[in-house]
């Protein structure tokens, strides 16, 4: 939605032989589809029982819903002057005036997150220390949806991931973006050889 605007919405299983030429839905239909999926996820009750913040929780659902609605409510998608000359403005923004309703819905979703026990990390009187410690804690009430990195057990996803992928094999890297010798040999040298 943020990258492409309206996208083709597929709400059924596609089978071999089905037509894959599905037209783009409008931006508004795309937003409504995402919000409906998020509402359905909360309605089935499984998210409320989830407490592991590395998995989707009710708080993560409402936080994403608030973010989607806030983005959809922005002037970018309601001020259509930049869309002049575009044949299908409904694919990249709203053609209706529902900006205030979207802001209200975004606010309601954000308030729901705040009622679920999340709060800002405020242990130290020094705000800079709080900010630093927030990233060093394995768990805090400020975290909503997280990925935990453990360099000992999962070094691939640790901070040295870039060095592993891009580093040369002689230094223990994989060299995935390195030029191979046979590729280099396929081109002429500067002296014409």
Return per-residue pLDDT of the chain as tens, 193 residues: 888 999 999 999 999 999 989 999 999 999 999 999 999 999 998 888 888 888 899 999 999 999 999 999 998 888 767 777 788 889 988 988 899 999 999 999 999 999 998 988 888 899 999 888 887 777 788 889 887 766 666 655 555 666 667 777 777 777 777 887 888 888 888 888 8
Q: With CA atoms as reference, report the closest residue to 94 among 80, 82, 112, 108.
A: 80
Q: What does 12-71 look like in DSSP terms, one character per residue?
A: S---TTS---PPPPPHHHHHHHHHHHHHHHHHTSHHHH---TTS--HHHHHHHHHHHHHH
Torsion sign (Cα): 32, 38, 44, 45: negative
Contacts of 176 (CB under 8 A, 6+ apart): 165, 166
User: So where are the chain's domains?
Assistant: 1-117
pLDDT for position 182: 86
165's CB contacts (< 8 A; 6+ apart) are 173, 174, 176, 177
Indicate the pTM of the whole model: 0.73
Closest CA to 150 of 140, 142, 141, 160: 160
pLDDT digits (tens, 9 = 90+) for 32-66: 999 999 999 999 988 888 888 888 999 999 999 99
Contact, 13 vs 54, CB < 8 A?
A: no
Q: In the 3-class helix/strand/coil scheme, how is 60-106 assigned residue by residue?
A: HHHHHHHHHHHHHHCHHHCCHHHHCCCCCHHHCCCCCCCHHHHHHHH
First-residue to last-residue Cα distance in the chain: 51
């Amino acid at each position: 939605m943020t990258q492409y605007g309206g996208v083709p919405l597929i709400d059924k299983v596609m089978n071999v032989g089905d037509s894959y030429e599905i037209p783009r839905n409008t931006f508004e239909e795309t937003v409504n589809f995402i919000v409906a999926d998020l509402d359905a996820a909360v309605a089935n009750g499984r998210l409320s029982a989830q407490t592991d913040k590395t998995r989707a929780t009710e708080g993560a659902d409402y936080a994403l819903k608030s973010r989607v609605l806030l983005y959809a409510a922005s002037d970018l998608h309601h001020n259509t002057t930049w869309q002049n000359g575009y044949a299908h403005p409904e694919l990249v923004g709203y053609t209706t005036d529902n900006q205030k309703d979207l802001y209200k819905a975004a606010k309601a979703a954000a308030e729901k997150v705040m009622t679920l026990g999340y709060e800002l990390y405020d242990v130290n009187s020094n705000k800079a220390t709080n900010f630093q410690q927030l990233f060093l804690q394995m768990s805090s009430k400020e975290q909503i949806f997280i990925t935990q990195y453990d360099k000992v057990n999962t070094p691939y996803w640790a901070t040295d991931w870039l060095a592993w992928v891009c580093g040369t094999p002689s230094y223990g890297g994989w060299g995935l973006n390195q030029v191979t010798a046979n590729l280099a040999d396929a081109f002429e040298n500067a002296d014409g050889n």
